[in-house]
Structure 1
Amino acid sequence: MTKTMTRTARAQGGFTLIELLVVVAIIGVLAAIAVPQYQNYVERSEASAGYSTIRSLQTPYDAAIFSSDTITDVTDLGMQSDASSLGKASVSQADGTLTFTFNDSAVLPANSTVTLTRDADGVWTCTTANIPDQAIPNNCSDEAP
């Protein structure tokens, strides 16, 4: 009986072409699902990074407003203008806005924005422009184009 098993084990020396094709097909299907999901993940993470960048400026902005300081640039709020490689943060004291504008190196469309706006009561609202719906950060809404 061991003689028969040994011959069978030696006869099968590798994988058949069909087995290899099935494995390649499975890998292709998995890649077709994984790549778009990864792209969505990167979009969401970039939008969240832009939101976090300007959100960190809220407290210094409020402090400057309460002390009647003039704000002309994000450097007045303690941030360097080139703090993020994804884009640029800007401030407008006249409008009460903090805006993050994405550049060409981001996965999101160029000139997409995340904006925090402060009303007269000190309440902040977040809006976005040109950011895909699945990538909009929590607590933000999509601006009308």
Structure 2
Amino acid sequence: MKAQMQKGFTLIELMIVVAIIGILAAIALPAYQDYVAKSQAAGALAELAPLKTQFEVLANQGQTPTLTATDATYIGQTANGGTYCTLSAPTYTATTGVGQLICTIKNGNAKVNGKTLTLNRSAEGAWACAADSTLEAKHKPGKCS
């Protein structure tokens, strides 16, 4: 009776598979980190954008918006109220109609933490997004420049 031969992978075949997995992981992890950073920046902008509505209501009344929940001119979020945003005090100049909402990104990864997103209101009432110049272009959300 013949002895049955064992079948399986050789050591070199297993080493090749491990090397391939290592190479794929080395490529995939940085790409995933960039994807996460962009989504966190977009999340910060998504927290900032709805505040424009109450800002506009107050601007049309000639009042300066605040982040203090007990004030009559409260815009709907406190300075540390968001998941990804720490807000700076909004600015508004009634004589010119120019204003700003500024978010400093928090709770994100190192590529976006501490960077700022700013919504600028022009005298005509148009809003434009501007991102921190140190925030890489690939992490900037949408039309933020």
- Matched residue, 2:80: 82
Q: Unpaired segments of 5 or more residues in structure 1?
A: none
Residues 87 and 59 of structure 1, relative CA distance in 2, 3 Å threshold: closer
Aligned-residue identity in percent: 34
Aligned length: 134
Equivalences for residues 63-82 of structure 1 within 5 A: 63-73=57-67, 75=69, 76-82=74-80
Which of 47, 54, 64 aligns to 2:48? It is: 54
1:126 matches 2:132? no
1:92 is aligned with what amino acid? Answer: T
**SS of aligned partner of 1:127:** strand
Question: What TM-score does the superposition give when structure 2 sets the normalisation length?
Answer: 0.81
**SS of aligned partner of 1:77:** coil
Residues 74 and 55 of structure 1, relative CA distance in 2, 3 Å threshold: farther
Q: Unpaired segments of 5 or more residues in structure 2?
A: none
Q: Distance in 1 between matches of 2:68 and 2:126?
A: 20
Q: Which moved more, 1:51-60 or 1:74-83?
A: 74-83
The CA RMSD measured in Å over matched residues stands at 2.1
Deviations 1:39-64 (A, max 9, x none): 11011011101111111111111011
Task: List structure 1 segments (4+ residues) > 6 angstroms apart after TM superposition.
Answer: none
- Matched residue, 1:93: 92
Deviations 1:37-96 (A, max 9, x none): 101101101110111111111111101111223323264101133222433023222450
| Greater C-alpha radius of gyration | 1
Would you tell me which structure has more helix in proportion to its own residues? 1
Q: Distance in 2 between matches of 1:74 and 1:131?
A: 29
Equivalences for residues 36-51 of structure 1 within 5 A: 36-51=30-45
Equivalences for residues 1-12 of structure 1 within 5 A: 10-12=4-6
1:101 is aligned with what amino acid? Answer: T
